[in-house]
A and B are shown apart, each in its own frame.
Chain A
Amino acid sequence: MKFEQGACGLLPIGVVIIVNSERMRSLFAAKEAEFHRLLTCLPAASIVLGMRAMIVKEFRELVRDRRTLGLLIMMPLLLLVIFGYAANFYVSSLKTAVVGPQASQVAAQLPSLFNVTVTQSSGTKADAEKLLQDNKVDVAFVAGQTPVLALVNGSNLFAAQSAVAALNKAGNKVKTQVLYNPDLKTSWVMVPAIIGLILTFIGTIITSIGMVREREAGTLEQLAVMPIKPSQVILGKIAPYFLVASVDMVIVTVLGILLFGVPFNGNPFAFALGAAIFLFVTLGLGVFISTISQTAGQAIQTAFFFLLPQILLSGMIFPLEAMAAGVRWIGYLLPLTYFTMISQGIMLRGAPITSLWLPFGVLTVMAVVVFTGATLRFRRDLAPGTPASPAGKQPAAAQTVSTA
């Protein structure tokens, strides 16, 4: 036992000596052969030497694989920042509307948790409900009646929970009514967001792998010389994924309704339109990732970079309102944030497309920008002589003549 303990103690010292063998060699001014003879005299030195070669080789490969290195360095920082600033379920400020006669008096008496953004003395209960349906506020008080009626937007789960907890303290002075998710079920807000996550997964990861496979197999080169336009290649490649994702979306939506009782209060066509636009964004991201990846492994790694922030910062898990401002703004750059707004709005609140113009508009702009950028990059791979290609060197002297 003592011998084993001693060996264990000496082993790290041996490893340090061997790993720093260059320095040790110069330190002792030993010749190469003598140095190695010395090492091979040590117990198990050949094993350690082999291990050293492996460690050095692994480090060299790692340094060349910038993407993995980036992942190793950035991921802990990213997770620290995200969990530090974003992982907060407690909403400390609730957007609040107060309507009805005495709206100003009621607003003045509310605790600081309720950040009154709308005060309408002439407003009615219907106006309050409209503000909630349009997701302009988390809570709407209808003043002018006893007790005061507090309508809570249940589709913003954590905001609603904070509101209900605060309102319960007011006792019978306030009558609380939770709309759109009366039992404040987590599944009701998660299912619409998960539909978006599934579309993101298929659109980003599966599409990029499918595209990169052509490059890995060398068949992209073959497609490039065929009389088929890059746009036809892209559309032909993504059409099956678009269909599969659409079928998946329908299955998940129906299962969410059947298994979890999630309501579908809005217009299915508006929902389908939002999903289609969102799918174009994610498919565009998938194509883009394929243009910056040489292998399926690289594509998965890169897609992971795009996917993780969307899961954590889109408001799907942690409420956007509870995040620090800097992190929240990252969330506002992510497409899943806007699809979640659309899916929760249509499914839970029955919001019309007119009240969801902002997420629809942002997603449309994203779809155009991402898809155009990805197509141009893909076009560069398929048609190297075209102006879209930075490598497309075609000086005046270089000409291509098509002969019949």
Chain B
Amino acid sequence: MYAVRSATVRFGHVLALDDVTVEVPGGSVVAVVGGDGAGKSTLLRALAGEVPLDSGTIEAPPKQRLGYLPASSGSWAALTVTQNIDFVAGIYGLAGEELTARRAELLDRASLTSAASRLAARLSGGMRRKLGFTMAIVHRPDLLILDEPSTGIDPVSRIDLWRLASEAAASGAAVLMSTTYLDEAERAAHLVVLDSGKVLVQGSYDQVRAGFTGVVTQTGEPVRAEWAWRRGRVQHEYWPGGGPPPEATVVPPDLEDIVIALSLARRNAVPS
């Protein structure tokens, strides 16, 4: 079990993390969701030891047992796919036949075998993220931290990346990943919803849904614009204390509704 406990991080006057506690058990995927500037990357980088805490504690493995995919490309553009993997493997002390076998296995699992001799700069966005992922797990880490691994890539590559993350968890690694895709986050064993550096809610998807209070309605014309958001062709509106108009159509909230509703509740300073 790895964890960030009661972590507070300030960048100047900005409170990036406010008393955040997140546990990442081995063999499971914990997804951190939240909007831009919610504190997702800061939380991940704090666990990776990249951001010093103002207060709180970090429980993380030593660097030799940690895998990290940053939000940037995560690979060296002027090296080929094979050279990238070999470089990182070399730092973790892998060499010889062990490296050859591990490289072949990872290239196969990430569907990168045919691109093995291609420069990282010439890979598609999805392939580059998959390469970054293989580099992060080349040494079979105990804790795998993935900062928005699937942002900006096509749906097929997203499925591949999720499969790779699930496989890493299945092999016993604790996986902490941030994502802006809520459908992706629903698949995680544990969800952490961040907003402005604070944990709005966390737990399994079922726990988060069960703990959600208030009512979400579907409408063409919201009664209170500050509590409404667009979902496709219609709008959804949140009623924190219940009590929507009798004619309103109540809908079961999905994760996207829950995250937006909780964020609005926080911003509109009404207890949810």
What residues make up the interface of A, taking CB atoms closer than 8 Å to B?
A: 217-219, 221-222, 224-228, 384-385, 389, 391-395, 397-404
Contact = CB atoms under 8 A, between A and B. Distances in A.
Given A219-B75, A219-B76, A400-B57, A392 B52 contact: yes
Of A218, A225, A385, A399, most buried by chain B (CB within 10 Å of CB) is A225
Interface in B25-65: 45, 48-64
Of A224, A402, A404, most buried by chain B (CB within 10 Å of CB) is A402
B61 A398 contact: no
B48 A225 contact: yes
B72 interface: yes
Nearest to A401: B59
Contacts of A397: 55-56
Contact of B62 (A218, A227, A391): A227
27 contacts: A217-B77, A218-B70, A218-B72, A218-B73, A219-B73, A219-B74, A219-B75, A219-B76, A222-B68, A225-B49, A225-B50, A227-B63, A227-B64, A227-B92, A228-B91, A384-B52, A393-B53, A398-B55, A398-B56, A398-B57, A399-B57, A399-B58, A401-B57, A402-B60, A403-B59, A403-B61, A404-B61
B88 interface: yes
A384 B50 contact: yes
Contact of A222 (B58, B60, B61, B70): B70
Given A218-B71, A218-B74, A398 B59 contact: no
B88 A226 contact: yes
Given A225-B68, A398-B55, A400-B58, A217 B76 contact: yes
A222 B74 contact: yes
B66 interface: yes
Given A225-B68, A400-B60, 7 more contacts: A218-B73, A225-B50, A226-B88, A384-B52, A403-B1, A403-B60, A403-B61
B52 A221 contact: no
Nearest to A392: B52
Interface of B: 1-2, 45, 48-64, 66, 68, 70-77, 88, 91-92, 135
A226 B56 contact: no
B163 to A, nearest CB: 23
A391 B52 CA distance: 8
Contacts of B64: 227
Contact of A398 (B45, B50, B53, B75): B53
A392 B92 CA distance: 26
Given A219-B72, A219-B76, A227-B92, A394 B52 contact: yes
B48 A393 contact: no
A389 B52 CA distance: 10
A79 to B, nearest CB: 36
Of B51, B60, B70, B73, most buried by chain A (CB within 10 Å of CB) is B70
A225 B70 CA distance: 10
Contact of A401 (B55, B60, B72): B60
7 A-B pairs with least C-beta separation: A218-B72, A227-B63, A398-B53, A397-B55, A225-B68, A385-B52, A400-B58
A118 B52 CA distance: 62
Main secondary structure of the interface of A (DSSP, over half): loop
Nearest to A399: B57
Contacts of B91: 226-228
Contacts of B88: 226
Contacts of B54: 393, 395, 398
Nearest to A236: B91
A225 B63 contact: yes
A218 B71 CA distance: 8
A149 B26 CA distance: 89
A203 B50 CA distance: 29
A187 to B, nearest CB: 38
A394 B53 CA distance: 6
A402 B56 contact: no
A39 to B, nearest CB: 37
Contacts of B57: 398-401
A400 B49 contact: yes
Nearest to B74: A222
Nearest to B66: A225
Contacts of A228: 91
B89 to A, nearest CB: 11
B55 to A, nearest CB: 4
Contacts of A400: 49, 57-58, 60
Contacts of A217: 72-73, 76-77
B72 A402 contact: no
A221 B63 contact: no
B66 A398 contact: no
Given A384-B51, A393-B54, A395-B54, A221 B60 contact: no
Contacts of A402: 60-62
Contacts of B74: 218-219, 222
Of B51, B52, B54, B58, most buried by chain A (CB within 10 Å of CB) is B52
Contacts of A384: 50-52
Contacts of A393: 52-54
Contacts of A222: 68, 70, 74, 135
A224 B50 contact: yes
Nearest to A233: B91
B142 to A, nearest CB: 9
Contacts of B52: 384-385, 389, 391-394, 398
A394 B1 CA distance: 23
A395 B8 CA distance: 11
A404 B58 CA distance: 13
Nearest to A391: B52
A398 B19 CA distance: 12
